[in-house]
Chain A
Amino acid sequence: MTSWGAAADGTYTDGRTARRHSVRISIEADGLRIESGDGAVAEVWPFADLRLVDEVYAGRPFRLRRDSGDARLTVAESEFLDRLHPHADHLRRKDLRRANVKVRAAGWIGATVAVLAGFWFLLPLAAGPIASQVPLSWEEGLGRTVQRQALALMAADSRVCTGSSGQMALARLVQRLSAASPSRYRFRVTVIDNKTVNAFAAPGGYIVVFRGLIDHSAGADGLAGVMAHEMGHVVERHGMEGLVKALGLSFVMGALIGDTSAIAGIATDMAQSLVTSKFSRDAEREADRIAVEMLNRTGISARGFQAFFQTMARKEGSGDSTVGRYFASHPATGGRAQFVKDRATGTSAAMSDAEWQAIRRMCSR
């Protein structure tokens, strides 16, 4: 089949001035011939050199250019493009005249939903491996920033407790736990004067404990259990995983809503989501398991840890508002006491009574 000799009318500009030339275009053996009646334009554009300027939609003219240069050719009769296709197959890609808008829209909506669903399932799976690739120094830097921002957020109603003998006692407890279960982290614990029963672990070993938790921790052994639990979160990088998830989500949201300035806010958002979001139930179970292991290795009795969970279960039942969100997503608190009881082997005390009293007095001025 040949379409040599097929012809149409067009408008040509040479790229040097905006002057429009009415031209006759025709398909020749060596390319697309462009000629004006007055002889001012007489060119042949080789087929391989032809480019469509824009996508061509049904019922509208199409525009051609050469591979380089500012000359343009507009053709109103879009059927002529069909005659060009056999000679310049590469033009088909931008020819959308026969594309069905509804079908394409449906297809791309489907693709978008599939991509979102993929992210929804893959992000939690990928977060762990990605988090484990983050160098320790980054993790510590992030953790320090998160901790500082969290403290700044709460600075209005909760100062940092500075009782020095209490701090030393707490540091000795953490030292004892981490020495028995070596990890790459250095743990730094800050106690704040807030009556909520709560604690959180930022990445890199930065742990924040609320005074309310010390008051309700059922003795020094209970506190040791909670500290080991938070250290478990750090060692298992649950905080970093949360950050990776938040980062991935903010990218997706940015793409969805199109708010590109969000990039600037990502760092602060990450910190905030880490502080406010809860770890998953699996993460809590894992931290409990590590906590019991740590207690067992040091020989500290887990009975206090177990008692702590029982107290919390009672408080939860009575709707006590001082029980912070610490327990909101945790596995049913009663079940956790049983979990600890089934695995505990230690019998010794976490610290001396004098040390425990020093920790309890940390927040009194």
Chain B
Amino acid sequence: MTNGSDEVPPAAAAEAPVHRLHHDGRSGELFVIFLVNLALSIVTLGIYRFWGRTRIRRYVWSQTSLLGEPLEYTGRGIELFLGFLFALVLIYGPIAGLFFWLDVELPESGEEFGGAKLNSLIVFIAILLLATPILMLFYYVALFAAYRYRIGRTSWLGIRGGMEGSAWRYGFLGLGLGFLNVLTLGWTKPWADSVVFKYRLGRTWFGNGQFQSHLDADGLYSRYALAWIGTAVAIGAMMAGLAAVSLNAQIMDHHVAVDPVRMQVIIVAIELTPLIVYQLLICAYKAALVRNIAKTLTYGTVRFRAEVTFKDVFKLRIPNFLLMAFTLGFAYPYVVLRTTRFVSRHVEFHGDIETAAIGQTDVGTPRYGEGLMEFFGIGMI
């Protein structure tokens, strides 16, 4: 007997079976679904897209399997459509109405245009101060609702997923953490991310079993600091670069004709530098976050691993972005499959998945889908 008896012996750990998701989607098949959606969305002035998105999810889910058994997406297009209508009438409508009302109530431009300009500036700032937290709140509410809908409409072996907890509480949590993030110039982000993911994952069910997350910000700060400092340096460099260009232009102005197009290209390139630096460096942070999320997640006796590296995340995100940008979105099916393959390649289930012990869930499922998300235009699938 060794004295480290509470540690799992390496031999035993190696014996625990490891399962992976298997993804069998083909880009040709998904591309046809994508084209059907495109044509019908245009004909129906965009309304078909809710049904189209449902078809895409059904395909992606059904081609992903665990223990040889495919996942199933049970959502319906009409649910997404109704969710969209509800969000339109209950949330987007009043906000748009408020803006329209303010627009009408502003003084008519006329004799006192100077005065009107001042008024509209004050109103604009007031709206900004008021609207930003409201939009942020709705963003997190929408995020939670969308996640809950997808989990609730995912089933495996006839057993459904489920989600408890309140979207509004999640919304206020996200709003508070976001506010803190602004106050600390972004230095609470790693901690805030871990709180937010822990909240969501810890309220996720599959059947009658609940996921547990012990996520903390352990090891996240060094990667994040790298991205933060790198971006700050890049912003400084950008400022210096822009100043140099403008100074150069002033000196050269009377002597040499500068090609304005070339000038614009140089300026845009300088302005994009911080964004590119951030997107590169943040890959290391995102990889660490994914590793931690998997490592601290359990479902009964099943443990998870997702040993992704900076290189893995880099090779997923950057080509995805470039593919979408340079094909005007037509690479979408391929990008979706790249992403699902990434997930199935890296996510590992450690331990026996005792299917006989998993009962049907009694967590209620939302009746309508993620409508609010529509107005933030995020999320790939």
Contacts and interface: CB of A to CB of B under 8 A. Distances in A.
A264 interface: yes
B158 A190 contact: no
A119 B332 contact: no
Contacts of B117: 155
A338 interface: no
Contact of A260 (B72, B157, B374): B374
A255 B58 CA distance: 20
B299 to A, nearest CB: 12
Interface in B64-119: 69-70, 72, 92, 96, 103-104, 106, 109-111, 113-114, 117
Interface residues of B, number: 55
A162 B355 contact: no
B110 A15 contact: no
B378 to A, nearest CB: 8
Q: Interface residue tally of chain A, by bracket?
A: 35 or more
A55 B59 contact: yes
Contacts of A39: none
Interface stretch (B43-51, B169-177, B266-274, B276-284): B43-51
Contacts of B38: 108, 112, 255-256
Contact of B109 (A16, A112, A116, A190): A190
Contact of B106 (A15, A55, A119, A148): A148
Contact of B356 (A19, A115, A144): A19
Residue among A15, A54, A151 with max Cβ neighbours from chain B (10 Å): A54
Given A11-B69, A18-B159, A108 B32 contact: yes
B369 interface: no
B328 A257 contact: yes
B62 A18 contact: no
A151 B116 CA distance: 11
Nearest to B208: A17
B32 A63 contact: no
Contacts of A61: 70
Interface string B24-52: 10101101100110110111011001000
Given A17-B159, A71-B158, A256 B42 contact: yes
B150 to A, nearest CB: 16
Contact of B376 (A60, A147, A261): A261
Interface in A262-320: 262-264, 267
B292 to A, nearest CB: 28
A20 B145 CA distance: 31
A60 B29 CA distance: 13
Contact of A54 (B58, B109, B157, B359): B58
A365 B310 CA distance: 64
A159 to B, nearest CB: 6
Residue among A14, A57, A63 with max Cβ neighbours from chain B (10 Å): A57
Contacts of B160: 70
B243 interface: no
A20 B355 contact: yes
B339 interface: no
Given A105-B31, A260-B49, A263-B375, A14 B158 contact: yes
A60 B80 CA distance: 28
B332 A264 contact: no
A264 B375 CA distance: 7
B375 A162 contact: no
A53 interface: yes
A61 B72 CA distance: 13
Given A74-B69, A112-B35, A160-B113, A119 B355 contact: no
B377 interface: yes
Contacts of B328: 256-257
A71 B329 CA distance: 38
Interface in A118-174: 119, 141, 144-145, 147-148, 151-152, 155, 159-160, 162, 164
B375 A160 contact: no
B70 to A, nearest CB: 7
Contacts of A264: 92, 375
A249 B355 CA distance: 51
Contacts of B36: 108
B360 interface: yes
Interface in A97-111: 101-102, 104-105, 108-109, 111
Contact of B158 (A15, A141, A162): A15
A16 B360 contact: yes
Given A70-B155, A105-B28, A108-B32, 14 more contacts: A11-B69, A53-B72, A60-B24, A101-B31, A111-B39, A115-B42, A148-B103, A160-B113, A248-B45, A251-B42, A256-B329, A258-B329, A262-B377, A263-B375
Interface of B: 24, 26, 28-29, 31-32, 35-36, 38-39, 41-43, 45-46, 49, 58-59, 62-63, 69-70, 72, 92, 96, 103-104, 106, 109-111, 113-114, 117, 120, 155-160, 207, 328-329, 332, 355-360, 374-377
